[in-house]
Structure 1
Amino acid sequence: MRVFDMIVDERRRAADLFSGLTADQLRRPSLCAGWTVHDVAAHLTTYLRFGQLKIYTAIVTTGADFDRFNLLLTRRAARLPIERIVARLRRGAASRTTIPRSGYDPVLSDLLLHDLDVRVPLGIRRDTPEDRLRVVFRHLTQEPSPGYTMGDRLAGLRLVATDTGWTYGSGALVRGSADELLLGISGRAWAFDRLAGDGLPLLRARVLGRTRPGAATRLMAPLRVLTSPPPRDRRARTAVAPAQVRQDG
């Protein structure tokens, strides 16, 4: 399946999920620190409404502090009732807007991670298609966009997904299900009590001890993206999930 088609389907699934939640469920804390389930739903609409203008505005107004800018936009969008948020998700499901010169992979990654952010605390199970998880695993481990500040947190670590057999890197072991690994490496503290391996303390320390980069460092990341060749294979309408995850070591 094309990555774009996965994105469209995930947005529609998200709309269906949020539309069926109770007021109590929408008020529950998500795995995103400080955000409720309702906040996560609102966040998913901000990119649909502002597109790439959101990225450039954040660079100009906050010195590329995307975390801060996301908080501002999400807080504003979260004032809407869930019915209007769901309607926006449905209307924008087929949006082709991407992070500048970064392709569709980070868009799908954002959708799947936030899906887990909501379903895990609510106890709503789902067998996520493996090809979609593979796209996210590949993106976060091999070529994360500036929106995913991975830095060197995976250096010297070997990741093993126990349910899919995917591996990445070399060094101290961190193992768990694909869902747990994705949540752990993307900064969700919930995952650290589920993952295992002698590399877990190092990953935990790197993630939880992460400091906010200074203005110069923040500005360099989008500058590198804007001056680098776009990943044509990941932007193309025919782009599909990678056949396999690279294995190192």
Structure 2
Amino acid sequence: MRDIVVDLSELATEERRDLADFLDTLTEEEWEQPSLCPGWSVRDVVGHIPSYDALGWPAVLALFARSGFSLGRCNQVGVNQSRRLGTEELVARLRAHAVPRGITAMFGCAIALTDGVIHHQDIRRALGHPRTVPQERLVAALEFAPRARALPAPANVRGLRVIATDVNWTHGTGPEVRGPGEALLVALAGRPEALADLEGPGLDALAARLRR
């Protein structure tokens, strides 16, 4: 049996490469459209995904220190820097950093995989280009999201039982929220656009958290 670290690294790499292939099909107008990630265009999301992979640990620590240890401000620094690049350069950079390294490789590359799946959907949902997330990647991202402190998912899922109806995954106790695993992941990550795909007695509580 392969080690789970190797598995997640491979899954994260596959996700980034699939996204790069999809990006090759976009028009220049689509690149400038808003994504589901608040305040970021499609271009910005693509610029963000590999922005930490090119940094060694000393550079990451220096960035966090300069940003007052705010993850949001650190993320925005990378996005701002990526805005100097053309779309072809952004795709090439994503392909060059398809294999996670540095901070995104932590937790056995669960950070890179979960971030990659969520942001891929931020782009696809915003542009109206749905896809079926490969089951192995989706379940792995769902497993990690509720304990990923960099995401709003741990707070959003608290006191709820969330049940994926298309893959073998459940989490938590309390009023139920049910729906496709992809919609659950996107909603737990803070995107209210996914709420329409969910149901259950706990949905109102989740919706209130996302709309605060």
TM norm structure 1: 0.76
1:64-115 deviation line (CA, Å, top 9, x unaligned): 2111221122022122101111111122222432348533111100000011
Q: Which residue does the alignment assign to 1:231?
A: none
Distance across 2 between alignment mates of 1:53 and 1:159: 39
- CA offset at residue 29 of structure 1? 1.1
- CA offset at residue 136 of structure 1? 0.5
Kindly provide the amino acid, as one letter, of the partner of residue 186 in structure 2: L
Q: Which residue does the alignment assign to 2:126?
A: 121
Residue 110 in structure 1 maps to residue 115 in structure 2: yes
Of 17-26 and 48-57, the range deviating more from structure 2: 48-57
Asked whether the 8 Å contact 2:53–2:101 carries over to 1, the reply is no
Where does structure 2 lack aligned partners over 5 or more consecutive residues? none
Distance across 2 between alignment mates of 1:100 and 1:51: 12
Q: Which residue does the alignment assign to 1:186?
A: 189
Residues 151 and 9 from structure 1, CA distance in 2 versus in 1: closer, same or farther, beyond 3 angstroms?
Answer: closer
Residue 21 in structure 1 maps to residue 23 in structure 2: no
Kindly provide the amino acid, as one letter, of the partner of residue 12 in structure 2: I
1:44-69 deviation line (CA, Å, top 9, x unaligned): 13122225456423431122211122
Instruction: Please point out which of 129, 151, 155 is paired with 1:152.
Output: 155
Distance across 1 between alignment mates of 2:56 and 2:151: 18
Residues 65 and 100 from structure 1, CA distance in 2 versus in 1: closer, same or farther, beyond 3 angstroms?
Answer: farther
**Which structure features the higher share of helix residues?**
2
Q: Which residue does the alignment assign to 1:205?
A: 208
Residue 97 in structure 1 maps to residue 98 in structure 2: no
Residue 56 in structure 1 maps to residue 61 in structure 2: yes
Distance across 1 between alignment mates of 2:72 and 2:154: 15
Report the identity percentage: 33
Flag as ranges the 4+ runs of structure 1 deviating above 6 A: none
Asked whether the 8 Å contact 1:52–1:99 carries over to 2, the reply is no
Asked whether the 8 Å contact 2:100–2:109 carries over to 1, the reply is no
Q: Which residue does the alignment assign to 2:179?
A: 176
| Secondary structure, counterpart of 1:79 in structure 2 | coil
Distance across 2 between alignment mates of 1:199 and 1:47: 36
Asked whether the 8 Å contact 1:184–1:190 carries over to 2, the reply is yes
Of 172-181 and 45-54, the range deviating more from structure 2: 45-54
Kindly provide the amino acid, as one letter, of the partner of residue 206 in structure 1: R
Q: Which of the pair has the greater relative contact order for Cα pairs under 8 Å at 6+ separation?
A: 1
Distance across 1 between alignment mates of 2:54 and 2:189: 25
| Secondary structure, counterpart of 1:159 in structure 2 | strand
Distance across 2 between alignment mates of 1:39 and 1:118: 10
Q: Which residue does the alignment assign to 2:170?
A: 167
C-alpha RMSD of matched pairs (Å): 2.0
- CA offset at residue 165 of structure 1? 4.2
Q: Which residue does the alignment assign to 1:228?
A: none
Residue correspondences, number: 207
Distance across 1 between alignment mates of 2:56 and 2:180: 33
Distance across 1 between alignment mates of 2:9 and 2:106: 15
Q: Which residue does the alignment assign to 1:77?
A: 82
TM norm structure 2: 0.89
Residue 8 in structure 1 maps to residue 10 in structure 2: no
Residue 134 in structure 1 maps to residue 118 in structure 2: no
